[in-house]
Structure 1
Amino acid sequence: MIDLRPVAYVIGRILVVLAILMLAPAIIDWRAGDANGVAFAQSAIITGFVGAVLSLATVNGLSTSLDVRQAYLLTIGIWVLTPAFSALPFWLGAPHLTPVYAYFEAVSGITTTGASVIVGLEVLPEGVNLWRGMMHWVGGLGIAFIAMIFLPIMRVGGMQFFRTEGFDTFGKALPRATDIARQLLVLYCGLTLGFALVYAALGMPALEAVVHGMSTVSTGGFGTRDDSFSSYSAAMLYAASLFMILSSLPYIRYVQLMNGQATPLWRDSQARAYLRWLLSAVVFVAGWQVWSTGMGVELAFRESLFNLTSIMSSTGFFAGSFPEWGGVMLVVALVLGVVGACSGSSASGLSVFRVQIAMALLRRQIRQITSPSAVDPVKYDGRTVGEDVISAVIMFISGFILIFGVLTVAMTLTGVDIESALFGVWQALGNAGYGFGPLVSRTGTFIDYPEAAILIMTLAMIMGRLGLMAVLVLLLPRFWRR
């Protein structure tokens, strides 16, 4: 049997912290004279009580390290249980969602997806919009810890390749994980503050700047307006585009940069490929807009840069004519959403790293057709990629495609049309936050999807965030046996 006490203890402590964070939007609403602050106070009391009881009941099982199975359970438990309590304010207070829709909104926030079922963001109590941004911020920070500390040791989707960076953090190496976490927290807070200050300097009201700063650094997508960034200035869109790119680069490179090692960031093969592919897509789509619609060059470039960066970084903001995109431009957006940004960041999708490995493997297979006896190892950044990493990458990509298809079919069985089902699963599994199709066109949100479809997308968001196999492995009986 797996000892669940260390897992329960950590989750309990996280819930206590979550309860404390809920007091911030409660205070904001109370100061604004809005009675909705009571809902946040009630949610904080419930969350804090459960967290405290869970921690006190399992403190005797606290250990200094976790084994791999406990790491799986802790990771999944955080991303399943934390949204359940984060959803309480949406249910007990404004906008008074049903439990299913409230959980969807919270999962979207914690997984930094950005898909929403709330219409009328401008008239929501200020505390609710702040809480939506805080969920992104907390979720993005948690994803950063997992991407750098847990996933390499869990061997999810080829992430064990990054253990060679010196971040083996379990058992006797745990103090190293503490150092990483401390530096990452400083970096994350610094970026959030910097983004918010720039947004404010460019004209955003203070609360909007804070919420968008949190959403940007976490590559989330929740905003304070139904039209996202469409009503903001050109300077704001360019700044946000830069910030989304910075937030979707590997966190490990920023930690190394803080330690005086700038070279790894400039030479990172994944980061270079990410920027190259993104720029190529932006130039192509901007050119297509100019040629097909007569749009001005600067406007076409600005809209393409902002929206495609938002999609590839799995952020979820949009601006301008993007909701009306179709044809070739929509296909480019779909592909970028599937590829995603860099492994080791809060961005999602397949990730540039895995796509690079798949492309290298394909090239090797083609070369072996003409030279079957040649020894041709797959290399990445000058290092040979082990067969275990290759197998994990192939399994991840295959699983992504299979689950994409299965969940899309499942969505259609709930009565959702094929276009809305396809893009609903696409945005959820890739944590992109965008919606297309008849069910989205009326409000720009997912409020018109039936509850059964909402539950499917909720599952897809969790699976997309945790790397698919981290969830499916729990279904194996041998996982639960010693």
Structure 2
Amino acid sequence: MTDFGPVFYIFGHILLALGAAMLLPAGYDYLLADPNWMAMLQSSVETLLFGALLSIASRTDTPQPLSLRQAYMLTAAIWLLAPAFAALPFVHGAPDVSLTDAYFEAASGLTTTGYTVFQYLDEMPRSVLLWRAMLQWAGGLGIAFVAMIFLPVMRIGGMRFFQTEGFDTFGKVLPRATDIALALLQVYSVLTIACALAYVACGMQTFDAIANAMTTMSTGGFATSDQSFAHYPIATHYASIIFMLLAGLPLIRFVQIVQGQLSPIWRDSQVRAFLRWSLYYTLLAVLWRYAHEDLPFEQIFRETAFNFVSILTGTGFGVASVEAWGAFVLVLVFLVGMSGGCTGSTSGSLSVFRVQVVLEAIKTAIRQLHSPNRVVLPRYDGKPLDEATMGPLILHVTGYILTQGIVAVLISMTGVDFSSALFASWGAIGNIGFGIGPTVAATGTMADYNDLATWLMSLSMLLGRLGLLAILVLVLPRFWRD
């Protein structure tokens, strides 16, 4: 029988950290004399008490390392249950929404999706805006850490490949998970500070710069204004494009750069592919718009580059509506969102690595058909991909596409038009957070989706962020058999 104690103990400590983090926005509102600080403080106390009781009740004198089954359970518990506590400030205080909307907002934050049901952000208490940004910043680092450490161990979605000696990351960079975590935190923090300083230098107010820097580097996309980045000076658009691209790169590569190893980041084929795809998609859309719209080239280039990089990295910021650009651009947008950023970054969707491997598998199959007697193996970066890598990866990609279609149909069955349902599924499972469709158009948010559709999107965000299998495996009866 599985021992739940270690899982409860660690999750209790995570709640303690979450509750303590709530004190920062509470203190900020207190200094501003905003009464919303009381709601934030109440949420903090409730989370701290529950976390403390859970940790005390499950504490043991002889702690043991987690088994693989316990690791699955802990990972799923964090992403499924932590949003419920992170949502408390939205229920107790501004904007005083329902539990459904509060959970959706918190899940969107922690998974760095960026969908929001909140309107009138410009009038929202600063504690709410800061808490949303903090959720995404913490989620971005947590996601990168899960992708680096836990998913390879769990052999989810082909991530076992990143444990092999042939892939120049952990074994040759840092020997232990704790060292990796510390190095990632340092790099992540420095990049966030640099992003905030760049925003300030471009004319953004200090608070907005800090909050938007946190949601930029986490590729989260929670802005501090209802107009997203259209509210800020043009210079900030270009600065954001640069930092969104940086956020879409593997964080471990920045650790190597700090250590004086400059070549691995460029030798990484997914990095080169990510940058190429960003350029190709953007130029294709720019040329299309330039041929069909009577607007200055600079405006077309800036709007297109910003939105396409935001969608590719799964950030979700926007400076213009892509729906007005025509059906051809919407098709490109859909493909861009499916690709995502690099593995080991804060981006979501399929990831460049998985798309590259699928394309390589297709090419291998074609070559095999052309030469049946020839033994052809799929390769990545010149290294053969074995069945232990290819099996979970193909399963993940297939499950990803099927789940996206199923969720789109389910959302449409709740009464949402199919266009809005399809893009809601696309944005939720891919953690893209870029709202498209008639249901979004009225408010620019997901507020007009009904409660059932909102819960479906919440579950989809969590499924997408955990690589589907980490949660789905928990419903299999054989998972619970000893």
Could you list the runs of 5+ residues in structure 1 that have no partner in the other structure? none
Aligned residue identity for 2:180: I
CA distance in 2, matches of 1:400, 1:18: 30
- Which deviations, in whole Å up to 9, do the C-alpha atoms of 1:117-160 show, x marking residues without a partner? 00000000011101110000111111111011111111110001
Aligned residue number for residue 18 of structure 1 = 18
Aligned residue identity for 2:239: A
Aligned residue number for residue 242 of structure 1 = 242
Aligned residue number for residue 218 of structure 2 = 218
Question: Does 2:140 align with 1:147?
Answer: no
Kindly report which structure 2 residues correspond to 1:32-181, keeping only aligned pairs within 5 A, or say none.
32-60=32-60, 63=63, 65-164=65-164, 165=167, 176-181=176-181
CA distance in 1, matches of 2:398, 2:267: 29
Aligned residue number for residue 306 of structure 1 = 306
Give the match's secondary structure for 2:176: helix
Aligned residue number for residue 430 of structure 2 = 430
Aligned residue number for residue 196 of structure 2 = 196
Quote how far apart the aligned CAs of 1:190 are.
0.8
CA distance in 2, matches of 1:258, 1:385: 30
Quote how far apart the aligned CAs of 1:456 are.
0.3
Q: 1:235/1:86 Cα in 2 relative to 1: closer, same or farther (>3 Å)?
A: same
- Which deviations, in whole Å up to 9, do the C-alpha atoms of 1:51-74 show, x marking residues without a partner? 111111122076353222111111
Are the aligned partners of 1:167 and 1:176 in contact in 2 as well (CA < 8 Å)?
Answer: no
Quote how far apart the aligned CAs of 1:33 are.
1.2
Kindly report which structure 2 residues correspond to 1:464-479, keeping only aligned pairs within 5 A, or say none.
464-479=464-479
CA distance in 2, matches of 1:62, 1:166: 36
Moved more, 317-326 or 212-221: 317-326
CA distance in 1, matches of 2:314, 2:388: 27
Aligned residue number for residue 360 of structure 2 = 360
Moved more, 228-237 or 55-64: 55-64
Moved more, 330-339 or 1-10: 1-10
Aligned residue number for residue 251 of structure 1 = 251
CA distance in 1, matches of 2:370, 2:110: 49
Quote how far apart the aligned CAs of 1:91 are.
0.5
Quote how far apart the aligned CAs of 1:317 are.
0.1
Are the aligned partners of 1:378 and 1:385 in contact in 2 as well (CA < 8 Å)?
Answer: yes
Are the aligned partners of 2:348 and 2:430 in contact in 1 as well (CA < 8 Å)?
Answer: yes
Aligned residue number for residue 345 of structure 2 = 345
| Fraction of identical pairs, as percent | 48
Quote how far apart the aligned CAs of 1:5 are.
1.5
Aligned residue identity for 1:228: S
Moved more, 237-246 or 297-306: 297-306
Are the aligned partners of 2:168 and 2:264 in contact in 1 as well (CA < 8 Å)?
Answer: no
Quote how far apart the aligned CAs of 1:260 are.
2.3
CA distance in 2, matches of 1:54, 1:117: 31
CA distance in 2, matches of 1:166, 1:289: 41
Give the match's secondary structure for 1:230: helix
Aligned residue number for residue 281 of structure 1 = 281
CA distance in 2, matches of 1:117, 1:305: 26
Aligned residue number for residue 404 of structure 1 = 404
Give the match's secondary structure for 1:59: coil
Are the aligned partners of 1:287 and 1:300 in contact in 2 as well (CA < 8 Å)?
Answer: no
Aligned residue number for residue 394 of structure 1 = 394
Quote how far apart the aligned CAs of 1:388 are.
1.6
Are the aligned partners of 2:94 and 2:124 in contact in 1 as well (CA < 8 Å)?
Answer: yes
CA distance in 1, matches of 2:181, 2:64: 16
| Number of corresponding residues | 478
Aligned residue identity for 1:90: F
CA distance in 1, matches of 2:61, 2:162: 30
Aligned residue identity for 2:327: G
Are the aligned partners of 1:83 and 1:110 in contact in 2 as well (CA < 8 Å)?
Answer: yes
Are the aligned partners of 2:204 and 2:233 in contact in 1 as well (CA < 8 Å)?
Answer: no
Quote how far apart the aligned CAs of 1:258 are.
2.5
Deviation >6 Å, runs of 4+: 166-169
Are the aligned partners of 2:357 and 2:380 in contact in 1 as well (CA < 8 Å)?
Answer: yes
Aligned residue number for residue 322 of structure 2 = 322
RMSD: 1.5
- Which deviations, in whole Å up to 9, do the C-alpha atoms of 1:300-321 show, x marking residues without a partner? 1111111000000000000034
Quote how far apart the aligned CAs of 1:231 are.
2.4
- Which deviations, in whole Å up to 9, do the C-alpha atoms of 1:12-64 show, x marking residues without a partner? 11111111110111111111111100000000000000111111112207635
Quote how far apart the aligned CAs of 1:168 are.
7.3
Are the aligned partners of 1:153 and 1:168 in contact in 2 as well (CA < 8 Å)?
Answer: no
CA distance in 1, matches of 2:440, 2:222: 16
Quote how far apart the aligned CAs of 1:293 are.
0.6
Could you list the runs of 5+ residues in structure 2 that have no partner in the other structure? none
CA distance in 2, matches of 1:296, 1:67: 59
Q: 1:62/1:357 Cα in 2 relative to 1: closer, same or farther (>3 Å)?
A: farther
Q: What is the TM-score with the length of structure 1 in the denominator?
A: 0.97
CA distance in 1, matches of 2:323, 2:360: 35
Are the aligned partners of 2:289 and 2:325 in contact in 1 as well (CA < 8 Å)?
Answer: no
CA distance in 2, matches of 1:444, 1:417: 16
Are the aligned partners of 1:420 and 1:438 in contact in 2 as well (CA < 8 Å)?
Answer: yes
